[in-house]
Homo-oligomer: A and B are copies of this chain.
Amino acid sequence: MIDRLTAAIREKENPTVAGLDPTLEMIPEFLRTRYFSEFGKTAEAVRKMFTEFNRHIIDALADIVPAVKPQIAMYEKFGVEGLKAYNDTCEYARMKGLIVIGDIKRGDISSTAAAYAAHLGGAEADGRRLETWKEDAVTLNPYMGSDGIRPFLEICRREDKGIFLLVKTSNPSSSELQDLMLADGRHVYEAAGALVEEWGREVPGSGKYSRAGAVVGATHREIGEKLRKQMPHTFFLVPGYGAQGGTAEDIAGFFDSEGGGAIVNSSRGITAAYQKDSAFGEKDYAEAARQAALKMKEDLRRCHV
C-alpha cells in the first residue's frame, strides 16, 4: 500500500487525500428532493444520495488525487444502510484507481482487534473468503497498545495493506491526553509516535516508509516538525488543513527533505466547495470539487516541492 501510495502521489504530483464525509447538509437540494420523495424519509434514501454524490465526486477527482478517505462515522450514523453507501464508495473509488484510506479509528484487543482487521483482510465463512469491507488502509487508535495493532500488522504484511495510527490529532482537546508531559521528558504523543515507529519495523515498505503510518494534525506546526524528525520511517496522514485552520506553511515541515512522507486531507473544502463558491450552482457540485482540488494541489506546491 505505502509503495503504491507514494508512487501515486508522485505520478499525480499531488499529496492530497480527499475526505469523503457526506452529510445531508452537503447533499445538493435536487438530490435530496429526488431521493426523499422516491424512498421516503428513510436511511435507504440517504444511502442512495450519498452513493450518487460520492460517485460523481470520485469521477471528478480520479485523475487529480491519489487517494480518498471516507470517514465511516458519517455513514455509520445511518445504520446498515449508511454502511452500504460506505462500502459502495470504497469499492467505486478502488475501481477508479484510487487508494482508499478508511477513516475508522478502531481500536481493541487481541481477538477483537483481529475481527476489526476484516476491514483489510476479509472474513471467512466455512473456508470461503468474504471481502466484507473494501479499504486499502485504515486509521486506528493506539491507546490499547500493541495487542490491538498486531493483527493488523500481520495483514499489512500478508496483503500489502496499510494502517495509520492516531498520534497527535488536529482537534483542540487533543491536548488533554496527548500533550501530557511524561516523567522521561517526552509528551504522550511522542511515546505513541515511538510505538508507531517500532511497529513500522515489522511492516517495511520497499522505500523509506513503512506500512504503519501516523495521523498528525496540520493544526500543530511545531509538533509535526518535531515528529517528522523523530519518526523517519513513518508516513503522515495529515488532517486539519483548510476548514480546521491548517495552512500549507504550517505543514511544510511535515514533509521530508525530498517533499515526500505526508499526505494532506481535505474533506468539506473539496466536496462541499459548490456551497462556498457562487460561481457554481448546486448541479455543478462535482466540477466545483474538481476545481477546489486543483486549487489545493497548487496551494500544496508551496510546501512539498
Residues of A with Cβ closer than 8 Å to B? 21, 23-24, 32, 36, 41-43, 45-46, 71, 73-74, 76-84, 87, 105-113, 115-116, 118, 123-128, 130, 132-133, 141-148, 166, 169-178, 180-185, 188, 191-192, 195
Contacts and interface: CB of A to CB of B under 8 A. Distances in A.
Contacts of A23: 111
A177 B148 contact: no
Nearest to A185: B183
Contact of A127 (B41, B74, B112): B41
Number of copies: 2
Contacts of A73: 106, 108, 112-113, 115-116
A182 to B, nearest CB: 5
Contacts of A146: 173, 176
Contacts of A41: 125-128, 130
A244 to B, nearest CB: 9
A132 B83 CA distance: 11
B177 A145 contact: yes
A169 B142 CA distance: 12
Given A79-B87, A80-B87, A141-B141, A148 B171 contact: yes
Given A76-B118, A87-B80, A180-B188, A144 B123 contact: no
A247 to B, nearest CB: 19
Contacts of A42: 125, 130
26 contacts: A43-B125, A45-B125, A71-B115, A73-B108, A73-B116, A77-B115, A78-B123, A79-B87, A79-B123, A80-B83, A81-B132, A82-B132, A83-B83, A105-B108, A141-B141, A142-B177, A143-B143, A144-B173, A144-B178, A145-B172, A145-B178, A146-B176, A148-B173, A177-B192, A180-B188, A181-B184
Given A41-B127, A171-B109, A177-B192, A79 B143 contact: no
